[in-house]
Structure 1
């Protein structure tokens, strides 16, 4: 079943497009392995590199991926449980300095990602088709549980592309 435009805010359209046509659970699992390989391949001198003033470092970008996945996972959990409480947005730029990415080791970042991604995979595996199409409100807009799964996948792909293009 393909996603309808009514299942997400247009802001997330690029991430959803990047997640592709494969079932998002497969893409989540593929991203689990790709993260470890990709992060391991980044040269040490690039981990705390920012390509311009005011831009995040590679480590900060990776921690942003983890933080955002936690937020999207939490939203999916709440909507799946039929929680009708509108959920607020989050200010990603406020989260980045609090992540302390610059003092984390590559190994710590990888381990944290693997923990969060495995949790996402287990959560989404527990959902049936009826739950996947449940809707909630996040950041003032409707969002389905399955759209959040696609957003998690596409968000990782997007930021890997950014790292390849601007940081390496």
Structure 2
């Protein structure tokens, strides 16, 4: 079982994401998280999924679109670091991605399916990473991290956004 990264494996900026996972088995966490997202989003109507709980905040559809984009980008970071690439990997402007994603024009079912494809791709990648590669370090947005940290960031970032959706779920209508 892959152990949670130690604090010296990542910049403090990533702490909230790493600790969102806790000490759970990360592979099972990712699989359970996928099922939880599918279940949660299947309970939303199209109208509910387009609602913003406050001005300037993302709708549930935009949030899932953001999660999908982030999973792909962060999986690339994981692949790069695990393979030993020492390139300073770039970040991304999440607002630009959401603003140009037109996620509110997508059906909830399409966004769910997209998430499942992105998550399955991430899970497939895990099978190609050797035990030694998990502690390889690389640089992501000028911050040194290990490969396993990036996996925890992927899961913790998704959990962060799902907690917001769950918290504001009663305000979606």
Give me the TM-score of the superposition, normalised by structure 2.
0.92
Match of 2:23 among 21, 24, 27: 21
- In structure 2, the residue matched to 1:148 is 150
Cα shift at 1:68? 0.8
Give me the TM-score of the superposition, normalised by structure 1.
0.95
Unaligned runs of 5+ in 2: none
Over the aligned positions, Cα root-mean-square deviation in angstroms equals 1.2
Aligned residues: 168
Q: Deviations over 1:66-113 (max 9, x none)?
A: 111111100000111111111111111111011110100011101100
Q: Deviations over 1:134-163 (max 9, x none)?
A: 111011101111111111111121111101
Unaligned runs of 5+ in 1: none
Match of 1:86 among 88, 91, 95: 88
Whether the aligned pair in 2 keeps the contact of 1:50 and 1:167 (CA below 8 Å) is no
1:2-151 to 2 correspondence within 5 Å? 2-151=4-153
- In structure 2, the residue matched to 1:161 is 163
Whether the aligned pair in 2 keeps the contact of 1:8 and 1:142 (CA below 8 Å) is yes
Runs of 4+ in 1 over 3 A off after TM superposition: none
